[in-house]
Amino acid sequence: MNLSFFDQFSSPSLLGIPLILIAMTFPALLLPSLDNRWITNRLSTLQLWFINLITKQLMIPLNKKGHKWALVLTSLMVFLLLINLLGLLPYTFTPTTQLSMNLALAFPLWLATLLTGLRNQPSASLGHLLPEGTPTPLIPALILIETTSLLIRPVALGVRLTANLTAGHLLIQLISTATTALFSTMPAVSLLTLLVLFLLTILEVAVAMIQAYVFVLLLSLYLQENI
């Protein structure tokens, strides 16, 4: 019984062909397509307003040099947000519950920010590994600690996103299973667990949005350190 709870996190396949790529590209169908008209329908206007709001929020911690990354960061934010929210629908698969995918997103972008800093300001980037005024006996230990904390950043990004979404999906499945099992024997308790399930679903919608924002915001902060 316990093993079946984790079946929802296994990558779906059809005739031996993994369907995770379809799950990853499906959110692109929800985005507005390019149009020559200035005024389109209300849905496109709302989507463009929301994307503009996201871009402004992500560009707040960055200076003008970091605004070149606006398209990358905004696209990543919208991509993660749509995948997380669509994954809350019944009988769907959430690609961001896969640690391999999250690490594949986090590591190249973190490496790009690191290489940007080493190319533009190598002295300042390497200076982060050794705080100013460090006593001489502590220099080797601090360099080792700062290097470890630097290298663990992409792992922390991927694990944080995976753990939060996985925990939320497991809680929803556990409570929904309890609601169904108690409906025939204890209807009152079943209704109470149904209310808890409804509140938890609202919470998971908020978590899906917050985790997508935190993922991209931390990347923007890493970028700011290197520019």
Query: How many domains, in total, are found in the chain?
Result: 1
pLDDT in tens, 174-187: 888 888 888 888 88
**70-107 exposure pattern, b = at least 16 Cβ within 10 A, e = fewer:** beebbebbbbbbbbbbbbbeeeebbbbbbbebbbebbe
pLDDT in tens, 79-113: 899 889 888 888 778 888 888 889 999 999 999 99
Contacts of 172 (CB under 8 A, 6+ apart): 88, 197, 200, 201, 204
User: Is residue 130 assigned to a domain?
Assistant: yes
User: Is residue 68 assigned to a domain?
Assistant: yes
User: Is residue 11 assigned to a domain?
Assistant: no
> Of all helices (H) and strands (E), which one includes residue 14?
strand 13-14
Backbone dihedral angles phi then psi of residue 11, each to the nearest 5 degrees: -65, 125
Judging by beta carbons within 10 Å of its beta carbon (0-12, 13-18, 19+), is residue 130 exposed, middle or buried?
A: middle
User: Is residue 47 assigned to a domain?
Assistant: yes
Judging by beta carbons within 10 Å of its beta carbon (0-12, 13-18, 19+), is residue 171 exposed, middle or buried?
A: middle
pLDDT in tens, 42-65: 777 788 888 888 888 888 888 888
User: Is residue 10 assigned to a domain?
Assistant: no
User: Is residue 190 assigned to a domain?
Assistant: yes
Range of the domain at 211: 17-226
- pTM for the complete prediction? 0.82
In angstroms, the CA 187 to CA 209 distance is 33
Q: Which residues pair with 13 in a beta bridge?
A: 18
Q: In terms of DSSP H, where are the helices of 60-152? A: 70-86, 99-120, 122-127, 139-151
In this prediction, residue 40 carries a pLDDT of 65
Q: Of 100, 75, 107, 53, whose CA–CA distance to 222 is shortest? A: 107
